[in-house]
Amino acid sequence: MAEDDKLTLTVSQAAKLIGFSPRKLYRLIAAGRFIRPSDLPGKMRFSRRNVEQFIEVANGNVRKFNQLKRNRQSA
């Protein structure tokens, strides 16, 4: 099975997909700023779908921020 076909991701795989280091991802999880992992005994896994939705929302927020910033500069 190809890595892109996996339904669950490890911390390293999720971090790579997002573009963060695993350490940064652990910090975001601890701060409550990233989706909670699945509760599998002894393993921390994320739903690929949830990680992809997180990326979409984060990208949307960046776009909105940049639009607001441009609007303020032109006003």
Class of domain 3-74: mainly alpha
Using one digit for the tens of pLDDT, what is the confidence trace for 2-54? Answer: 555 689 999 999 999 998 999 999 998 999 888 888 877 888 999 999 999 88
Residue type, 53: Q
Question: What are the domain boundaries of the chain?
Answer: 3-74
Query: How does residue 1 score in pLDDT terms, banded at 50, 70 and 90?
Result: very low
Site of tokens 């490890």:
10
Q: State the pTM of this model.
A: 0.71
Alpha-carbon span 10 to 57, nearest angstrom: 21
